[in-house]
């Protein structure tokens, strides 16, 4: 067997050790299912075997299912009945295990997630090592699935609906200690003792029957229409899901349904209910989108899929950060937290110390919440050196410039820094809009100059956008990606252009919302539809957050740089009126599209109706949603065809993790595939005719639609140019 090993001791206890070859972590794969099925037959067919202990030969138990295989086989056009027959084998295997007639114990030595935890639930007893780094949970909902190997049925039967539902619909991870408190783990032991304790439970006469297979079993806390508490739990859960998902995500609803329906049925019938909902999700395009982008594509990015080959991997030990404002302070914090020595430089030592205060505050919060010891926090803080002297940058392997978005200021700090640093030091500019090739003109070593765009707040946002200038070397790209991996963040690599990818496309969302305001669309309708569509906040609110003043200045600079090529939109006049005429410059200034009363909640400025009168006839919500999503997707398609993006996966990962494009779509380019290229182009043509050139699709997308092609279909064949 290639995925597990079986050894039976003198006491007649078989130890099944799961250890997949050539994998850093165990996963549930077809080979594992076949081997484990054979293992069950072996222990049940041997009269000398009293029972079995299931454990892992790796540091973790089982990390879950092999999602790469699953996403390759998801077919939204398939019959759910076919998926039901194909994907119920694991569920049947675990049912075979718990009814095999011999006691089986899970000796959980590390992380057990998804199908791994479901295996533990199917065992008759669970012993876990008290490893605080280990995680137990059913995170399937986070990639658009439900636990399809019995998780929606065994967990509620074990700990009750009220405790189980939040874990299932939120994908919560638990420490072994917390899992023991809830009753998911039966016994918590010191690491290394789990197998011995599991064996002893069998020798002490451990029972080979699950509670739900005993006559008269009742779900803890009640289930079904006759249980007031169960009904209350269900009603509250449905209301909460509506608030948090806006019914854009089918998996949480499927989980609620499977739990509620299955909890009142015998276990075998309940498992069929679970399989029915699981099969429906496997034929849902949302599931494909979420697994492909949130797991497969993000995983590839985390493993540095775009890193140039043949360049030795390097670690940054000393980092220089130029500018101790919000971004520079955040970069200094995450870098020090990753163990790097950081030189935080600003115009004065006091300004640099103010930037270091940001780290002090974040670290103190972690200490106060018990997530970090005071000693560990002090060690991180000690790594940050504040200065106003460029000479202190000597010895830095990497520099990140995070000063004000002004070409002159950036050129000045570049020159002063290069006078100190070594010739092999990489210089990264954390700009969000200014083209890297132009900024590199101030450098004596443009081959070492690269864009490295963090998102705010740096400590929370997972994405970093790497921008390659015309003269940026492969060495600079590789070392930048190595640094980002040190931080534990997700990189995408794009080519240079105005606004690059993320800032450029995100601005289409905010400007479209502002354009609708100019047309007389109710601002509350714009904001609410955006959130119901799945955007984190509405376009007016997020413009207030980044400040109208900044957006206005960027717009003016863009217009000046592009000259006759600049295309006016209705948003331009709105921004000028708000900033220049009305002095409403955003949240930081106390007034923008919203009012920010002291001690009260923000609300849309009532004066908007006076300056931007609402039309007598308002568009339907679906029309507003379509405009907000389509305008972003179309510009993403342009970025791919212009070579700003080199792969559709980067566009999708960047849109979800960079600015919060709805995850259920899979990202901006997956959204086009979800709609269907022919249908998307036809609708975009209607929008372009009615609202202007910003909705015109690029030629490559139109050609793909005519040929029946898709972005990912072409990419899988090595063509990432979108057929342009």
Phi and psi at residue 644, in whole multiples of 5°? -65, -45
Residue 718 has pLDDT above 80, yes or no: no
| Of residues 404 and 494, more confidently modeled | 494
pLDDT on residue 89: 86
Candidates 238, 234, 236; CA nearest to 224 is 234
* Locus of tokens 């006491």: 11
CATH of domain 503-716: 1.10.1040.50
pLDDT on residue 492: 97
| Secondary structure element (H or E) that encloses residue 555, with its range | helix 548-562
d(CA 137, CA 57): 20
Phi and psi at residue 546, in whole multiples of 5°? -80, -10
SS3 415: helix
Task: Tell me the mean pLDDT in the region 304-321.
Answer: 96
Peptide bond into 167 cis (omega under 30): no
Which member of 124, 173, 247, 453 is catalytic? 453
Residue 300 has pLDDT above 90, yes or no: yes
Distance linking the first and last C-alpha atoms of the chain: 48
DSSP assignment string, 643-705: TS-SSHHHHHHHHHHHH---GGGTSHHHHHHHH-HHHHHHHHHHHHHHH-GGGPPPHHHHHHH
pLDDT tens profile 606-616 = 999 999 999 99
Q: Which segment of 219-223, 316-320, 583-587 scores lowest on mean pLDDT?
A: 219-223
CB-based contacts of 391: which residues, under 8 Å, 6+ apart? 420
DSSP assignment string, 54-67: EEESSSSSB--B-H
CB-based contacts of 36: which residues, under 8 Å, 6+ apart? 3, 4, 16, 18, 93, 97
What letter does residue 615 receive in the DSSP assignment? P
| pLDDT-based confidence at residue 433 (cuts at 50, 70, 90) | confident
Strand order in the sheet with 136-137: 112-113, 136-137, 173-174
Residue 62 has pLDDT above 50, yes or no: yes
Start-end of CATH 3.90.226.10 domains in the chain: 4-283
SS3 337: helix
Task: Tell me the mean pLDDT in the region 409-434.
Answer: 93
Instruction: CATH number for 318-496: choose from 2.40.50.100, 3.40.50.720, 3.20.20.60, 3.40.640.10.
Output: 3.40.50.720
DSSP E strands: which ranges in 295-416? 318-322, 341-345, 384-387, 398-401
d(CA 611, CA 592): 13
Residue 641 has pLDDT above 90, yes or no: yes
pLDDT on residue 719: 63
What letter does residue 579 receive in the DSSP assignment? I
CB 635 within 8 A of CB 701: no
Start-end of CATH 3.40.50.720 domains in the chain: 318-496
| Secondary structure element (H or E) that encloses residue 108, with its range | strand 104-108
pLDDT on residue 657: 95
Taking the CA atoms of 123, 126, 131 and 137 in sequence, report the sign of the dihedral they define: positive
Phi and psi at residue 393, in whole multiples of 5°? -80, -5
When the pLDDT of each residue in the chain is averaged and rounded to a whole number, the result is: 92
| Of residues 407 and 531, more confidently modeled | 531
Task: Tell me the mean pLDDT in the region 693-720.
Answer: 88
> Helices then strands (H, E): number in the chain?
32, 19
d(CA 537, CA 553): 22
Residue 226 has pLDDT above 80, yes or no: no
CB 579 within 8 A of CB 570: no
| Of residues 404 and 650, more confidently modeled | 650
| pLDDT-based confidence at residue 242 (cuts at 50, 70, 90) | low
Residue 474 has pLDDT above 50, yes or no: yes
- Helices 374-382 & 326-337 angle (0-180, nearest 10): 120
d(CA 333, CA 246): 35
CB-based contacts of 530: which residues, under 8 Å, 6+ apart? 509, 513, 537, 538, 539, 624, 625, 628
| pLDDT-based confidence at residue 234 (cuts at 50, 70, 90) | low
Residue 141 has pLDDT above 50, yes or no: yes
pLDDT on residue 722: 42
| Of residues 478 and 565, more confidently modeled | 478
Count of beta carbons in the 10 Å neighbourhood of residue 76:
13
List b or e across 134-148, with b for residues whose CB sees 16 or more CB atoms inside 10 angstroms.
bbbbbbbbbbbbbbb
Q: Which segment of 178-187, 233-242, 467-476, 650-659 scores lowest on mean pLDDT?
A: 233-242
SS3 510: helix
Residue 556 has pLDDT above 90, yes or no: no
Candidates 723, 693, 433; CA nearest to 570 is 693
| pLDDT-based confidence at residue 82 (cuts at 50, 70, 90) | confident
| pLDDT-based confidence at residue 237 (cuts at 50, 70, 90) | low
d(CA 602, CA 589): 13
pTM: 0.89
CATH class entry, domain 4-283: alpha beta
CB 617 within 8 A of CB 522: no
pLDDT on residue 442: 94
The verdict on whether 453 is a catalytic residue reads yes
CB 509 within 8 A of CB 630: no
Task: Tell me the mean pLDDT in the region 484-494.
Answer: 97
CB 478 within 8 A of CB 315: no
pLDDT on residue 724: 37
Residue 723 has pLDDT above 60, yes or no: no
d(CA 510, CA 72): 35
d(CA 571, CA 367): 45
Residue 248 has pLDDT above 60, yes or no: yes
Taking the CA atoms of 43, 47, 51 and 56 in sequence, report the sign of the dihedral they define: negative
Percent of the chain with pLDDT over 70: 95
């Amino acid at each position: 067997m290639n995925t597990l090993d079986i050894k039976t001791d003198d006491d007649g206890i078989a130890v099944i050790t799961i250890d997949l070859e050539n994998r850093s972590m165990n996963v549930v794969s077809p080979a594992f299912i076949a081997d484990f099925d054979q293992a069950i037959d072996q222990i049940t067919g041997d009269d000398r075997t009293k029972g079995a202990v299931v454990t892992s030969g790796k540091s973790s138990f089982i990390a879950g299912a092999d999602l790469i295989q699953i996403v390759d086989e998801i077919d939204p056009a398939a019959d759910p009945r076919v998926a039901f027959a194909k994907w119920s084998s694991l569920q049947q295997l675990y049912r075979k295990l718990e009814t095999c007639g011999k006691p089986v114990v899970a000796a959980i030595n590390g992380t057990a997630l998804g199908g791994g935890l479901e295996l533990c639930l199917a065992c008759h007893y669970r012993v876990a090592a008290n490893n605080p780094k280990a995680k137990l949970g059913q995170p399937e909902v986070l990639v658009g699935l439900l636990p399809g190997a019995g998780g929606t049925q065994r967990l509620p039967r074990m700990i009750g609906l009220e405790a189980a539902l939040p874990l299932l619909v939120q994908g919560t991870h638990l420490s072994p200690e917390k899992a023991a408190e809830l009753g998911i783990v039966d016994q918590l032991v010191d690491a290394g003792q789990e197998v011995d304790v599991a064996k002893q439970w069998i020798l002490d006469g451990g029972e080979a029957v699950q509670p739900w297979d005993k006559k008269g079993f009742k779900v803890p806390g009640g289930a079904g229409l006759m249980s007031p508490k169960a009904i209350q739990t269900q009603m509250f859960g449905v209301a909460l899901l509506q608030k948090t998902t806006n019914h854009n995500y089918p998996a949480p609803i499927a989980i609620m349904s499977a739990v509620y329906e299955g909890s009142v049925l015998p276990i075998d019938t309940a498992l069929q209910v679970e399989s029915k909902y699981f099969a429906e999700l496997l034929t849902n395009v949302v599931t494909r989108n979420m697994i492909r982008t949130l797991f497969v594509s993000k995983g590839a990015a985390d493993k540095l899929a775009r890193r140039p080959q043949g360049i030795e991997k390097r670690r940054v030990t000393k980092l220089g950060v130029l500018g101790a404002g919000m971004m520079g302070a955040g970069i200094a914090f995450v870098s020090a937290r990753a163990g790097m020595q950081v030189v935080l430089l600003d115009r004065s030592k006091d300004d640099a110390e103010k930037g270091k205060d940001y780290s002090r505050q974040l670290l103190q919060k972690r200490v106060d919440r018990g997530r970090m010891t005071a000693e560990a926090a002090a060690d991180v803080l000690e790594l940050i050196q504040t200065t106003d002297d460029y000479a202190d940058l000597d010895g830095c392997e990497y520099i990140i410039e995070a000063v004000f978005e002004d070409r002159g200021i950036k050129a000045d700090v570049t020159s002063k820094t290069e006078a100190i640093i070594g010739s092999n030091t990489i210089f990264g500019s954390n700009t969000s809009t200014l083209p890297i090739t132009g900024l590199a003109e101030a450098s004596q070593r443009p081959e070492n100059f690269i864009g490295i765009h963090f998102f705010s707040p740096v400590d929370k946002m997972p994405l970093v956008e790497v921008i390659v200038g015309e003269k940026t070397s492969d060495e600079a790209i590789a070392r930048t990606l190595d640094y980002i991996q040190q931080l534990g963040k997700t990189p995408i690599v794009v080519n240079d252009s105005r606004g690059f990818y993320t800032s450029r496309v995100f601005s289409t969302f905010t400007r479209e919302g502002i354009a609708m305001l100019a047309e007389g669309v109710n601002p509350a309708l714009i904001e609410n539809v955006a959130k119901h569509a799945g955007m984190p906040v509405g376009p007016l609110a997020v413009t207030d957050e980044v400040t109208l003043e900044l957006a206005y200045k960027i717009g003016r600079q863009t217009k000046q740089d592009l000259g006759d090529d600049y295309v006016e939109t209705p948003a331009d006049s709105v921004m000028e009126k708000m900033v220049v005429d009305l002095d409403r410059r955003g949240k930081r200034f106390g007034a923008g599209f919203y009012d920010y009363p002291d001690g009260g909640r923000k609300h849309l400025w009532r004066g908007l109706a006076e300056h931007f009168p609402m039309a007598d006839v308002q568009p339907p919500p679906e029309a507003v949603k379509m405009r907000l999503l389509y305008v972003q997707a179309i510009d993403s398609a342009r970025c791919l065809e212009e070579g700003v993006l080199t792969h559709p996966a980067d566009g999708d990962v960047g849109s979800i993790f960079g600015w919060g494009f709805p995850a259920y779509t899979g990202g901006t380019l997956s959204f086009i595939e979800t709609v269907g290229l022919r249908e998307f182009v036809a609708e975009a043509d209607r929008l372009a005719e009615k609202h202007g050139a910003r909705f015109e699709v690029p030629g490559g997308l139109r050609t793909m639609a005519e040929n029946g092609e898709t972005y990912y279909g072409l990419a899988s064949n090595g063509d990432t140019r979108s057929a342009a």
